[in-house]
């Protein structure tokens, strides 16, 4: 059932139409969202099922169109990471972006290109190695932790096991082996900057969040309330502001 259909059958003021957190405190799997009907989104689900940012491509200049459509080209082979590192890299990126079925935004390729081309962030933590070394150590550490816990490499663990390891990485709770060469909390920050940059620079992710895409040279017409849509935008499958609903009724989302 689409989210919009469910919303008609529940009390909107109580936030009953919003997905509750699971018993383990994690957000619900995104499969509760409606199927994408127009354009492409990761896993073909999203809050804006009738929106495709590429429909506005005619309002972009040639340079902008070229840059955006280049991101849709089939990715080439990895250039920075080795064949041995590739499975761990892909599994790690998938867990961090909750991409477990096709189509996927090619986050691994984006990270690989960034590191292969040396297009880093322009700064480095004083207590951390070069970002390229950090990535290699993180992938090695993920495999070491997976072998300690499950007797296999990270890519071969099931999703709950992978999620638990990544959760401990995010919390800075991993130690020993390759982790000893890193400030683990900062390593998570380094990796997530690259992963999120790669994910949210892709038009499929724009469709998922209803992002309007490049505004040059078109500009924006609507300068009033945020609820006012541009001509090229589409309404979401649900219209509430989730942050406001949760803030007003926190008890509905605490388990």
| pLDDT digits 0-9 by tens, 240-252 | 555 565 465 554 4
HSE-CB of 19 using CA atoms within 13 angstroms: 16
pLDDT of residue 4: 42
pLDDT of residue 5: 43
pLDDT of residue 17: 46
pLDDT of residue 205: 97
Burial 218-245 (b: 16+ CB within 10 A, else e): beeeeeeeeeeeeebbbebbbeeeeeeb
> Does the predicted model carry a pTM greater than 0.85?
no
Q: Which long-range contacts (CB under 8 A, 24 or more apart) does 155-158 make?
A: 155/87, 155/88, 155/90, 155/91, 156/87, 157/91
57: left (phi over 0), alpha (psi -120 to 50) or beta: alpha
pLDDT of residue 218: 73
pLDDT of residue 239: 60
pLDDT of residue 238: 62
106-140 pLDDT per residue, tens: 999 999 999 999 999 999 999 999 999 999 999 99
pLDDT of residue 235: 72
Across all residues in the chain, what is the average pLDDT? Answer: 84
pLDDT of residue 194: 97
Dist CA 137 CA 141 (whole Å) = 6
Residue 33 neighbours by CB under 8 Å, 6+ apart? 3, 45, 46, 47, 237
pLDDT of residue 219: 72
Decide: helix, strand or coil at residue 191.
helix
pLDDT of residue 32: 67
The three-point CA angle 177-122-112 to 5° equals: 55
| Segments in the chain below pLDDT 50 | 1-18, 246, 251-255
pLDDT of residue 222: 66
Dist CA 156 CA 159 (whole Å) = 9
């Amino acid at each position: 059932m689409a989210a919009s259909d469910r919303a008609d059958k529940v009390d909107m003021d109580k936030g009953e139409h919003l997905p509750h957190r699971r018993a383990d405190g994690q957000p619900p799997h995104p499969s509760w969202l409606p199927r994408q009907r127009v354009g492409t989104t990761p896993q073909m689900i999203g809050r804006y099922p009738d929106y495709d940012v590429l429909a506005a491509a005619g309002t972009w200049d040639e340079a902008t169109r070229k840059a955006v459509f280049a991101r849709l080209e089939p990715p080439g082979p990895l250039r920075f990471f080795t064949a041995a590192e590739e499975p761990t890299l892909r599994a790690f990126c998938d867990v961090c972006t909750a991409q477990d079925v096709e189509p996927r935004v090619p986050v691994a390729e984006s990270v690989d290109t960034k590191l292969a081309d040396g297009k880093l962030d322009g700064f480095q933590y004083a207590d951390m190695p070069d970002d390229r070394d950090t990535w290699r150590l993180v992938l090695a550490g993920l495999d070491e932790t997976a072998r300690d816990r499950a007797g296999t490499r990270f890519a071969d663990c099931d999703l709950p096991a992978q999620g638990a390891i990544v959760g401990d990485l995010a919390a800075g709770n991993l130690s020993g082996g390759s982790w000893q060469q890193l400030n683990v909390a900062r390593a998570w920050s380094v990796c997530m900057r690259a992963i999120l940059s790669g994910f949210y620079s892709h038009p499929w992710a724009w469709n998922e969040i209803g992002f309007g895409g490049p505004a040059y040279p078109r500009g924006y017409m609507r300068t009033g309330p945020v609820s006012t849509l541009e001509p090229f935008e589409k309404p979401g499958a649900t219209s509430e502001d989730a942050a406001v609903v949760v803030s007003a009724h926190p008890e509905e989302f605490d388990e």
